[in-house]
Amino acid sequence: MVLEILEFGFMQRALIAGVAVAITTSVIGLFLVLRKNSLFGDALSHVAFGGIAVGLVAGVYPLWTGLGLAIAGALGITKLRQSTKVPADATVAILLSSGLALGILLVSASGGFTLDLFSFLFGSILLVSVNDTLAILAMAGAILSIVILLYKKLVYITFDEEQARVSGLPIAHLNYLFVVLASVAAVVSMRLVGILLVSSLIVIPNVTALLFGKGFKKTALISVAVSVFSVITGIAVSYAFNLAPAGTIVLVQVAVFVAALVVRHSPRKLEEIRA
């Protein structure tokens, strides 16, 4: 079946774009999960929904308008956190509801949902064009390159932001840069699983990896492996059984998480029984 899948151009593009998105979201997601900000990606995707609606109404390529609004929203919320005492979870809720409300308003004003909008809501990885694939690869490459370049600084502020500030790191600038990277990652992943399931790509592989209690680098590698495996398996299964790729990918991730949970806790149960 694998060889049959690779015979089709649309499946080749889906796998290439899917793997690129899987790697990018798992890497960015690890920082978000460790910062206890797991739902930030979900909020960004909902803001991007508003931007996509703007693009569809204005006749502009919606991926770019979604990206622009997601970045603007992320920067605005980050500034709000730094300048006020509004709790972090409250700012995420504000960001999420604002983007969703804008999208719904524009959709209702333009006469309802369209096929293009549905593809962003629920994902359309099997319909990605060559241009979409190139755009995804370019954005994924840019994100990963910046993360690799600033790896030590990002890890430092993730685990101890106050100490990093004392040591002289430009915390504010690094945080602004990181939310821009997270915004791009969230928008890119919409093509794979849609706006409604973006947070699954960011959260589930990393929570699965954290179950093994390894160091940061090993956890990142496990997360990437889980994410890539889930995407490839999900696309293959969805093609074989004519299922929705987005839902299949997420359910594969959940299955891997449950399996990891069982494996992680089985030795403890056996020790308790023996004791």
The encoded tokens of residue 42 equal 């979900």
203 within a domain of the structure (yes/no): no
Q: Above 80 in pLDDT, residue 228?
A: yes
Residue 223 resides in a domain: no
Q: What is the mean pLDDT of residues 46-70?
A: 82
CB 110 within 8 A of CB 104: no
Residue 202 lies in a domain: no
Query: Where residue 253 falls among pLDDT bands split at 50, 70, 90?
Result: very high
What is the rounded average pLDDT for all residues in the chain?
Answer: 82
For residue 170, the domain's CATH number is: 1.10.3470.10
206: pLDDT confidence band, cut at 50, 70 and 90?
very high
Considering the domain boundaries, does residue 210 fall inside one?
no
Query: The tokens of 8 are what?
Result: 């089709």
E-strand ranges in 5-104 read none
Residue 222 confidence (pLDDT) above 60: yes
Answer yes or no: is 227 within a domain: no
158 within some domain: yes
Which pLDDT tens digit goes with each residue over 169-191?
888 888 889 989 998 888 888 77
Rg (CA), the chain: 19
| Segment 31-53, tens digit of pLDDT | 999 988 877 877 888 888 888 88
Q: What is the dihedral of CA 247, 127, 111, 96, to 10 degrees?
A: 50
Number of independent structural domains in the chain: 1
Quote the percentage of the chain above a pLDDT of 70.
87
Q: What's the pLDDT band for 1 if we cut at 50, 70, 90?
A: low
Report yes or no on 165 lying in a domain. yes
- Please determine, for residue 262, whether its predicted confidence score (pLDDT) is greater than 70: yes
Structural domain including 134 reads 2-196
pTM of the model: 0.85
Closest CA to 73 of 164, 184, 166, 157: 184
In a domain, 41, yes or no: yes
The mean pLDDT of 226-238, rounded to a whole number, is 91
